[in-house]
Amino acid sequence: MNPPLLIVGGGPAGAAAAIGLARAGERPLLIERSRETADALCGGFLSWRTLETLAGLGVEADTLNPIATTRVRLFAGSRQTEARLPRPARSVSRRKLDTVLLAAAGAAGARIERGVAVRAIEDAVRLDDGSELRPDALFLASGKHDVRGLARPAEARGSDPTLGLRVRIAAAPGLARLIGDAIELHLFDRGYCGIALQEDGSANVCMAVHRSRLNEAGDPERLLAALGEECPALGERLAWRDGSEPIDAIANVPYGWRLREGRAGLFRLGDQAGVIPSLAGEGMGIALASGVSATEAWRRGGAGAAADWQSRFAYQIELPIGVARMIAGLGERPTSAGALVTVARLVPSLVDLAARMTRVGG
């Protein structure tokens, strides 16, 4: 049987869409390729605006992490500064967030099927077992992973593609004292790294780095060692690793890309709608906002509203992505990264402004 409303992907965007559609009295089908909720490669930062969106979905901040993130700390070489965030935020693992959101979607009435992978989306949604689904409306929320037939353009990756790398460092009192209630951004040649303490006290070390930088190092482990020597503060944090932690990776992340036009019956959500440079900490904000606004558009105009919604959402995220892309470009160049930190120290109000301008709807 073909479900009228199909959601592909069980991350924040897909779960938000499932909650919204179920609250509208529908029984959407959400399919997720993984059988168990994993800790997806993600910075794990929830801004104050994202927390407002989550509250509207029935998820309160303290259920995710009772400890607020109140400051941002910037590093470039030996230079550093910090400033208060406009409002308290949270840092949380994707395992925790996705578990809570999918539970909320199920409680609202959405049908959730796990271990169901999509092979291609063309005239129909073709599953790994060869079966096909032909929904009236499709909500594509597959995150950074492309689906055959709807892949984002290769040119969006650029000539020196960006990779995502992540390592989790186990909780330790000394590490907690170093990071505290801050979200840290460490800037270096051809990349940057974000660090924050998550709900279990572990440090989520997540970086975006250009392939050329990784190739020069040889492999992720050697890259971390090189960065630890190049960036003293980052090296101090990485020194808390015991060496057994896996380094997760994802290739060819098209930071800065937006889908500007849509088509009837297809709502592309989250990273399938636009990919904000991760140093902004608004990736999950965009994911959740897209899921909420797409379901509102569907409620007003049905499947036919998708094309107009996609264009409007692209306009909504244009400024946050543009500002984040500009800051990331400065931070990835040694000649400008230090100046960026110095300016932030001298004019802390600019940090506040940048934080606000990179929020969805901010």
Cβ atoms of 11 and 98 closer than 8 Å: yes
Query: What residues have CB less than 8 Å from 257, skipping those under 6 apart?
Result: 152, 153, 156, 274, 275
C-alpha span between 230 and 217 (Å, rounded): 12
**What are the C-alpha distances in Å from 286 to residues 26, 320, 358?**
24, 10, 10
Could you read off the pLDDT of 12-40 as tens digits, one per residue? Answer: 999 999 999 999 999 999 999 999 998 89
Could you read off the pLDDT of 38-71 as tens digits, one per residue? Answer: 889 999 999 999 999 999 999 999 999 999 999 9
According to the model, what pLDDT value does residue 154 have? 86
**Structure token pair of residue 144:** 């950074």
pLDDT per residue rounded down to tens, the chain (362 residues): 688 999 999 999 999 999 999 999 999 999 999 999 988 999 999 999 999 999 999 999 999 999 999 999 999 999 999 999 999 999 999 999 999 999 999 999 999 999 999 999 998 999 999 999 999 999 999 999 999 999 999 888 889 999 999 999 999 999 999 999 999 999 999 999 999 999 999 999 999 999 999 999 999 999 999 999 999 999 999 999 998 999 999 999 999 999 999 999 999 999 999 999 999 999 999 999 999 999 999 999 999 999 999 999 999 999 999 999 999 999 999 999 999 999 999 999 999 999 999 999 65
Q: What is the 3-state secondary structure (H, E, C) of 219-288?
A: CHHHHHHHHHHHCHHHHHHHCCCCCCCCCEEEEEECCCCECCCCECCEEECHHHCECCCHHHCCHHHHHH
> What domains are defined for the chain?
5-40+94-156+255-326 (3.50.50.60)
According to the model, what pLDDT value does residue 1 have? 61
Q: What is the dihedral of CA 28, 34, 39, 40, to 10 degrees?
A: -80
Query: What residues have CB less than 8 Å from 351, skipping those under 6 apart?
Result: 72, 74, 83, 344
